[in-house]
Amino acid sequence: MPHPINHQRRADLLAGVVAYMLEHGVAGLSLRPLAAELGTSPRMLMHYFGSKEDMLVKAFETVRPDIATAVAHIQTTDEFRAAANFVWHEMCTGQVGRHVAVLMQVLSMSSADPIRVALAGYLADVMQIWMASLMAALVRCGLPSAVAEARATIVIASFRGLLLDRQTTHDVERTDAAARELVALATLPVEVP
């Protein structure tokens, strides 16, 4: 008969998985060194999480940035610019920046990688939430829906590209300037012919 799940132990292990993931990344993640660092065994990790992939999905879910809340108050282009520039700064620094760096690592994995496959639903959910949140904010700023959708797509895709650029080149000044310019362009009024 299987042992019942100790929910506190599971939560503690999950916090340890998140810390390990932030320190070591997820590419080539192996259960044996992870379990050793957490003071448990690979078998117990599987007992608590089912599979390595399920464990990683749960770890990512615990550190998902709440973009919807960050942009829910936006009514003007000035508020959008301030919030988007704040989000960019948070994505590049501190704890949120560490989470984003690991997420970027997953996005750069082969689409056939088991970790990327396991996180496909999570990644799709994150992108859908970001799209819906930014699009709604841009509509509240007065942009037509189709334009807001296109500009939200441009902001999200460009932020991902700028993050990859920043991680590769370490050129903070240039990528920050590009992010600010991108945000300013995203809120320009629509020209009516």
139 by Cβ neighbours in 10 Å (0-12 / 13-18 / 19+) ranks as middle
Which domains, ranges and CATH numbers included, belong to the chain? 7-62 (1.10.10.60), 67-186 (no CATH)
- Quick: pLDDT tens for 93-128: 877 788 888 888 888 777 778 888 888 888 888 899
- pTM (two decimals): 0.82
- Separation CA 111–CA 9 (nearest Å): 33
- Separation CA 86–CA 70 (nearest Å): 9
- Quick: pLDDT tens for 58-92: 888 887 777 888 889 999 999 999 999 998 998 89
Q: In which element (H, E) is residue 187 found?
A: none
Q: Report the chain's C-alpha Rg in angstroms.
A: 19
